[in-house]
Amino acid sequence: MGSNPVRVIMTLPHESANSINQARDFLFELMDTKKTPDVPKAIRERARAILKHYPMQCDVKTMHDPDCGVYGWGKGKDE
C-alpha cells in the first residue's frame, strides 16, 4: 500500500448534494412541532445545534463548481 491511497467516490456530486439538502430539510422538520409533534425536546435542540453550522442550499451549489475543491468534488484551483 502506498502512502497516498486513491479515494474512489461511487456517488455523483449531485446525489451527494441532494442528500445534504434532504438531511437539512429533515433537521428543520424535526424542529417543527406541527410536523413532528412527538419529537422530544432534546432531539429538537440537537437538530437546532447541527443546523447552526450546516451548509445551506447556496453552499451546496458551490460544491458542484468543478473549480472548487470543497469536499474533494472538484480538482481545486492549485492542481
pLDDT value of residue 65: 65
- Burial group, residue 47, by CB count within 10 angstroms (0-12, 13-18, 19+): buried
Sign, Cα dihedral of 28, 26, 41, 36: positive
pLDDT in tens, 14-25: 888 888 889 999
User: Rg of the chain's alpha carbons, rounded to an integer?
Assistant: 17
Q: Which residues contact 51 (CB under 8 A, 6 or more apart)?
A: 24, 27, 28, 31
pLDDT in tens, 31-77: 999 999 999 999 999 999 999 988 877 777 676 666 655 555 545 44
Q: How confident is the model at residue 11 (pLDDT cuts 50, 70, 90)?
A: confident
